[in-house]
Amino acid sequence: MSDTTAKPAPLKVLVYSDDVDTRQQVILALGRRPHPDLPELEYVEVATEPVVIQNMDAGGIALAILDGEAVPAGGMGIAKQLKDEIYQCPPVVVLTGRPQDAWLATWSRAEAAVSHPIDPIRLAETVVGLLRARVPAPTA
């Protein structure tokens, strides 16, 4: 007997920060399944700009979360580069140092900004909203 309900492939979410604690905060805030309408999330943790570019160029990333406070390459500059260079670039969320910095995310062409300290509810709502726009609704 075969199972006809195929489990959807996980959505790959790239999480960039030079700070392992920031990456872990993002992953813990979102969990494996931030919303029942979405497939599970699979995380690609990245600590350097070249690896972000490499992963994004390779494709398969559904969403990127970039730490705007990362050094030496901040997430806003990387977001702008990705949006300029990748055709149909996946949505990008930039983590800003403070709420007042959200306007900078507009310059970077990121779809959304969430400020530090990371609010798990705000981050989940933002990510779910962006992923829902990309993932077809499940058929009942």
pLDDT tens for the chain, 140 residues long, are 445 567 889 999 999 999 999 999 999 999 999 999 999 999 999 999 999 999 999 999 999 999 999 999 999 999 999 999 999 999 999 999 988 888 888 889 999 999 999 999 999 999 999 999 876 655 54
Q: Is 130 inside any structural domain?
A: yes
pLDDT at 6: 73
Rounded Cα gap, residues 132 and 12, in angstroms: 14
Q: Maximum Cα–Cα distance for the chain, whole Å?
A: 57
The confidence score (pLDDT) of residue 100 equals 84
Domain count, the chain: 1
Q: Give the CATH number for residue 52.
A: 3.40.50.2300
Q: What is the pTM of this model?
A: 0.92
Query: Which structural domain, as residue segments, surrounds residue 21?
Result: 11-134
Q: Specify if 128 maps to a domain.
A: yes
Instruction: Examine residue 84 and state whether it is found in any structural domain, yes or no.
Output: yes
Q: Answer yes or no: is 3 within a domain.
A: no
Q: What are the structure tokens assigned to 27, written together? A: 């992953």
Residue 5 located in a structural domain = no
Kindly state whether residue 139 falls inside one of the protein's structural domains.
Answer: no
Describe the strand order of the beta sheet including 112-115 as a list of residue ranges: 41-46, 11-16, 61-67, 92-96, 112-115
Note the pLDDT of residue 49: 97
Q: Is residue 4 part of a domain?
A: no
Inside any domain, residue 68: yes
Residue 5: its pLDDT value, please? 64
Interatomic CA distance for residues 47 and 52, integer angstroms: 8
